[in-house]
Amino acid sequence: MDSPMTSMAAMRSFSRDSSVTSRQIPPGTVRRILGIAGPYRRELIGFLSLVVFSSLIGVITPLLAGDIVNRIARLSGTAGDVVQIALVIAGLAVLDAGSSLVQRWYSARIGEGVIFDLRTRVFEHVQRMPVAFFTRTQTGALVSRLNNDVVGAQRAFTSTLSGVVSNVIALVLTAGVMFSLSWQITLLSIVMVPLFVFPAQRIGKRLQEITRESYGLNASMNATMTERFNVAGALLVKLFGRPEAEAESFSGRAARVRDIGVLSAMYGRVFFTSLTLVAALATALVYGLGGWLSFTGSLSAGDVVALALLLSRLYGPLTALANVRVDVMSALVSFDRVFEVLDLTPMIAEAPDAVPVPADDRSIEFDAVSFRYPAPAEVSLASLEDVAVPEQHAGTDVLHQVSFRAEPGQLVALVGTSGAGKSTMAALVSRLYDVTGGAVRVGGVDVRQATTASLRDAIGVVSQDSHLFHDTIGANLRYARPEATEEELWAALTGARIAALVHSLPDGLDTVVGDRGYRMSGGEKQRLAIARVLLKAPGVVILDEATAHLDSESEVAVQHALDTALAGRTSLVIAHRLSTIRNADQILVVDHGRIVERGTHEELLALGGHYAELYRTQFAPTDAAASSIAGV
């Protein structure tokens, strides 16, 4: 009979989604796969050699067993000869066991090596993708490429490759030896294969449907857990008081996963039992017909035993190879999905002749800058987007001929209504996007011609929702400068007006801030973000509405920290509060992607245009409230 491992491998083969066979694999995929296998050429040769060796042992052992039976039945030779053959069989078993262990080492070495290579390549490549890629891509789908598809791809070198090679060799050798012993029994044994394969195909189709539904249900359940278990989701559930409804909804999903798991297990058992039953019937056929042929003198008793033992090595390969196309295509599709990500060209790339930003010049200049956001096809994959929604601004310019200059040490403020283009202008300075017309220069160097490292070192950014990793305060600060000393960390915290708070914490710098920094208040997060910028010590600082969502008390604390952060640095500030921009050297009023006014606070108020209107509707009430609080 077939071993449980062989039967389960065959069942997995039939349960794989046969729809993959209709997918068009791009030309050159196989060549790229062979390129990935290149570093493991020696391991692959050793692995496949051992697979062939094990197949040979699998055929030789039944023949030796049959020889023993013949010697016993005919009383030919001596007892020592029988013992000698038995010892050879035992030796082959030991060799096969040893070969199996070495095969497993080769398999693990190749498989884990391929996983490591692909994961690191995908991770490194994704890190170089533009921000637009991450704004469109569903995180879970991207993580799946690094996990499920990479693991599926490595199976091509272990499970699929070894399975195809070993099954083909075992089938050819076994069938050849069986035909040499008795062509009648061999043909009858093969004729019985359709009794299993055809029903298995039907069971396999149902298993494919169940497996596909199971994946969908598990993904839905995992998505629910991910959304509800992060801090924001958990807070929403608690605030709206729906834990019972959430538990009931999750219970329904989990129950369906349970039910489909039971159904899948039963179909799997039917598959396994069918294969076992057919193998048992075929074995009975061998013994029955073989025994009759033995009594007529056409076949020896030992040949009957050898045929019965060989039969167990015939059905497994036949059933596995019956669906080999699906196995191979599944592996190719996994590789193709990984290559899809690797083939996405990063829009932001360092020029071959890039030069560093001068250390003694930290000016910012926009020279007739125009910009449009990239179309989805330029930055993302439809398969990575859960819901593909057309980009609102794709294909149309959102900035039009924007020109201004911030001299070293100056503070330039950008004001305007929401959607005017202020954040887009800030993103162009740090080269999160590239301009589609004109040029952005830092230190006189076009950012497209600057080295990535020098541009990163020259610019520090504090956004309105500064991100903190789920790590310690010290680790989050050192993200800006990994080599920073503890004294430098405390100096940065002091400059950001948050050193006293960190000192008061039981774990100090080793305090874990929680998921996205949720254990800290909004003002504390912003001051830690400012401390991170101070530790980095850039010559250019960009503030993207850094105080927009803070209460008045937190804003005062953050504003003091910002005064330290901006001192002596060239600053580009997107303003939401008047206190941030009142002392700006230059205020730029942005409207529909154009600079419509520029000047100081007093000059623009006197002009009585867009800025004066913004001041009246947006800044003045805030300013009055702040003055009232200050007078209390």
Task: Give pLDDT tens digits for 366-376.
Answer: 999 999 888 77
- Contacts of residue 460, Cβ cutoff 8 Å, sequence gap at least 6: 480, 533, 536, 538, 540, 541, 542, 565
Confidence at residue 170, expressed as pLDDT on a 0 to 100 scale:
82
Contact 221, 253 (CB under 8 A): yes
Cα–Cα distances in angstroms (integers) from residue 77 to residues 86, 92, 190, 304, 306, in the given order: 14, 22, 35, 20, 19
Confidence at residue 554, expressed as pLDDT on a 0 to 100 scale:
64
Q: Which helix (H) or strand (E) holds 379?
A: helix 376-379
Backbone region of residue 76 per phi and psi (left: phi > 0; alpha: psi in -120 to 50; beta: other values): beta
Confidence at residue 564, expressed as pLDDT on a 0 to 100 scale:
75
Rounded Cα distance between 195 and 189, Å, is 11
Contact 456, 487 (CB under 8 A): no
Residue predicted with more confidence, 132 or 94:
94
Residue predicted with more confidence, 111 or 399:
399
Q: Report the candidate in 467, 459, 492, 495 with the shortest Cα–Cα distance to residue 478.
A: 492
Q: How confident is the model at residue 628 (pLDDT cuts 50, 70, 90)?
A: very low
- Contacts of residue 233, Cβ cutoff 8 Å, sequence gap at least 6: 227
Residue predicted with more confidence, 393 or 425:
425
Rounded Cα distance between 347 and 539, Å, is 26
pLDDT in tens, 145-177: 777 777 777 777 677 777 788 788 888 888 888
- Of all residues in the chain, the percent with pLDDT exceeding 70 is 80
Q: How confident is the model at residue 2 (pLDDT cuts 50, 70, 90)?
A: very low
Is residue 624 scored above 60 in pLDDT? no
Which segments within 109-202 are labelled E, that is strand? Answer: none
Is residue 125 scored above 60 in pLDDT? yes
pLDDT in tens, 295-341: 877 788 888 888 888 877 777 777 677 667 666 777 777 788 788 88
Q: How confident is the model at residue 283 (pLDDT cuts 50, 70, 90)?
A: confident
Confidence at residue 617, expressed as pLDDT on a 0 to 100 scale:
77
Is residue 387 scored above 50 in pLDDT? no
Confidence at residue 189, expressed as pLDDT on a 0 to 100 scale:
77
Mean pLDDT throughout 221-235? Answer: 70
Is residue 230 scored above 50 in pLDDT? yes
Residue written as token pair 């190749």: 110
Read out DSSP for 291-355? HHHHHTTSS-HHHHHHHHHHHTTTHHHHHHHHTHHHHHHHHHHHHHHHHHHHTSPPS----TT-B
How many Cβ atoms sit within 10 Å of the Cβ of residue 398? 19
Residue written as token pair 């592996």: 331
Contact 284, 291 (CB under 8 A): no
Backbone region of residue 393 per phi and psi (left: phi > 0; alpha: psi in -120 to 50; beta: other values): alpha
Rounded Cα distance between 224 and 55, Å, is 47
Strand-pairing partners, residue 595, are 590
Confidence at residue 94, expressed as pLDDT on a 0 to 100 scale:
94
324-342 helix and 29-37 helix, angle to the nearest 10 degrees: 80
Residue predicted with more confidence, 542 or 376:
542
- Contacts of residue 53, Cβ cutoff 8 Å, sequence gap at least 6: 99
Residue predicted with more confidence, 212 or 447:
447
Mean pLDDT: which of 112-126, 244-258, 313-327 is highest?
112-126
Rounded Cα distance between 132 and 135, Å, is 5
Rounded Cα distance between 34 and 539, Å, is 48
Contact 236, 297 (CB under 8 A): no
Residue predicted with more confidence, 197 or 425:
425
The full set of domains in the chain, from first to last, is 4-11+19-342 (1.20.1560.10), 409-435+453-631 (3.40.50.300)
Confidence at residue 412, expressed as pLDDT on a 0 to 100 scale:
92
Average pLDDT score, the chain: 79
Query: Which of 186-200, 477-491, 545-559 bottoms out in mean pLDDT, i.e. has the lowest?
Result: 545-559
- Name the 3-class secondary structure at 370: strand
Mean pLDDT throughout 89-98? Answer: 92
Residue written as token pair 């950012």: 447
Rounded Cα distance between 62 and 599, Å, is 95
Mean pLDDT throughout 207-221? Answer: 69
Is residue 351 scored above 60 in pLDDT? yes
Q: C-alpha 58: how far from its chain's center?
A: 41
Rounded Cα distance between 597 and 609, Å, is 8
Residue predicted with more confidence, 216 or 542:
542
Amino acid identity of residue 148, one-letter, is N
- Classify residue 495 by burial, with Cβ atoms within 10 Å: 0-12, 13-18, 19+: buried
Confidence at residue 625, expressed as pLDDT on a 0 to 100 scale:
47
Q: How confident is the model at residue 178 (pLDDT cuts 50, 70, 90)?
A: confident
Residues in the chain: 632
Strand order in the sheet with 540-544: 459-463, 540-544, 570-574, 411-415, 586-591, 594-599
Is residue 260 scored above 70 in pLDDT? yes
Query: Which of 257-261, 439-443, 575-579 bottoms out in mean pLDDT, i.e. has the lowest?
Result: 575-579
Is residue 276 scored above 70 in pLDDT? yes
DSSP 450: B
pLDDT in tens, 39-82: 888 888 898 888 888 888 888 888 888 888 888 877 666 778 88
Confidence at residue 490, expressed as pLDDT on a 0 to 100 scale:
92
Q: Report the candidate in 472, 582, 461 with the shortest Cα–Cα distance to residue 519.
A: 472
Confidence at residue 435, expressed as pLDDT on a 0 to 100 scale:
92
Is residue 437 scored above 90 in pLDDT? yes
Rounded Cα distance between 405 and 588, Å, is 11
Confidence at residue 354, expressed as pLDDT on a 0 to 100 scale:
92
How many Cβ atoms sit within 10 Å of the Cβ of residue 235? 11
- Name the 3-class secondary structure at 78: coil
Backbone region of residue 608 per phi and psi (left: phi > 0; alpha: psi in -120 to 50; beta: other values): left
Rounded Cα distance between 453 and 449, Å, is 12
- Classify residue 397 by burial, with Cβ atoms within 10 Å: 0-12, 13-18, 19+: middle
Confidence at residue 632, expressed as pLDDT on a 0 to 100 scale:
35
